[in-house]
């Protein structure tokens, strides 16, 4: 399980995360929702080791991972798909997705992990031999998430996984991602659009100006008036 406690992060002298604490357990689909600039990406990037916190702890299965490098954190079983999908243009879709299986030791065969990635994004099956540079923005997003899945992570961190995807396919993609939890793994997504958070999410955290202002079920969040104000702002900002 991922356990974050009192995490403080400064960027260029400004306090961006203010003692945030939260948990993500295995078998859970958890979401971090907040307006633009609230601190979602900073949270995920700090977990991945791209930023050093001022104070606080990040534990994965009881081990403090704060001082580890990003590749070490990936090896411990955290998969990450960043906000800006980093797809290699010269490689095919199949190569982009299979890449993490080349270097990362895992007891499950690479084919099983790759097959799982295609199960979440069936469209990519047809594009296997297409070069990354010939994909649309939404397709690149899918490849980037599929690549993180192919790592066979215990915990999957996804920054705005639905951004750029057409609204019609968002529910099926979210459901496919949530299904990953049934194999006892955890999925944690950052979202700026509350409407993309399904009621079946196990936990919702709302972040506002670097602070967690709500932790609970999505349905409870929708009834919470203080949260509703922020959420409406989120929904409004996401629509504009
Ligand atoms: N490299 C940077 N240099 C300076 N300030 C930064 C940098 N990265 C982030 N920030 C600031 O930190 C705050 C949090 O940014 P962050 O990217 O974590 O927000 P976010 O919740 O992911 O927003 P969005 O929904 O727009 O992706 C913002 O005020 C942002 O301007
Ligand atoms: Mg962001």
Query: How is the chain split into domains, by residue range?
Result: 1-66+158-240, 78-153
Q: Which ligand 1 atom is the nearest neighbour of the CA of 190?
A: 22
Q: Tell me the torsion sign for CA atoms 7, 63, 29, 154.
A: positive
pLDDT score for 222: 82
Lining residues, ligand 1, CB within 6 Å: 11-12, 16, 34, 36-42, 83, 192
Residue nearest to atom 25 of ligand 1 (CA): 36
CATH code of 1-66+158-240, in short, is 3.40.50.300
Q: For ligand 1, atom 7, name the residue with the nearest CA.
A: 11
**Ligand 1: residue whose CA is nearest its atom 30:** 37
Total-model pTM = 0.92
Share above pLDDT 70 across residues of the chain, in percent, rounded to a whole number: 94
Place of tokens 């982009």: 96
Banded pLDDT at 240 (limits 50, 70, 90):
very low
Contacts of 201 (CB under 8 A, 6+ apart): 29, 30, 31, 178, 217, 218
Q: Which ligand is nearest to the CA of 18?
A: 1
d(CA 188, CA 206): 13
How far is residue 23's CA from residue 76's CA, in Å, rounded to a whole number?
17
Rounded to an integer, what distance in angstroms lies between the CA atom of residue 92 and that of residue 31?
31
Which helix (H) or strand (E) is 30 found in, with range? strand 29-34
For 109-141, how does the pLDDT look when each residue is reduced to its tens digit (9 = 90+)?
888 889 988 988 888 999 999 999 999 888 898
Residue 157's nearest CA partner among 83, 101, 218 is: 83
């Amino acid at each position: 399980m991922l356990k974050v406690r009192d995490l403080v992060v400064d960027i260029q002298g400004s306090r961006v995360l203010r003692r945030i604490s939260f948990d993500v357990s295995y078998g859970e689909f958890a979401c971090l929702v907040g307006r633009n600039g609230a601190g979602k990406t900073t949270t995920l990037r700090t977990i991945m080791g791209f930023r050093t916190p001022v104070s606080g702890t990040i534990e994965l299965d009881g081990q403090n991972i704060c001082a580890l490098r990003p590749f070490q954190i990936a090896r411990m079983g955290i998969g990450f798909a960043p906000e800006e999908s980093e797809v290699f243009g010269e490689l095919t879709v199949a190569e982009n997705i299979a890449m993490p299986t080349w270097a990362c030791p895992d007891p499950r065969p690479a084919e099983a992990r790759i097959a799982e990635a295609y199960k979440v994004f069936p469209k990519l099956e047809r594009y296997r031999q297409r070069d990354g540079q010939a994909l649309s923005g939404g397709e690149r997003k899918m490849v980037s998430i599929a690549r993180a899945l192919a790592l066979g992570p215990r915990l999957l961190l996804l920054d705005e996984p639905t951004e750029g995807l057409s609204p019609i396919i968002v529910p099926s993609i979210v459901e496919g991602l949530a299904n990953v939890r049934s194999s006892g793994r955890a999925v944690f997504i950052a979202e700026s659009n509350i409407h993309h958070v399904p009621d079946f999410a196990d936990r919702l955290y709302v972040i506002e100006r670097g602070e967690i202002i709500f932790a609970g079920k999505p349905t409870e969040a929708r009834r919470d008036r203080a949260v509703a104000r922020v959420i409406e702002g989120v929904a409004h900002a996401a629509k504009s």
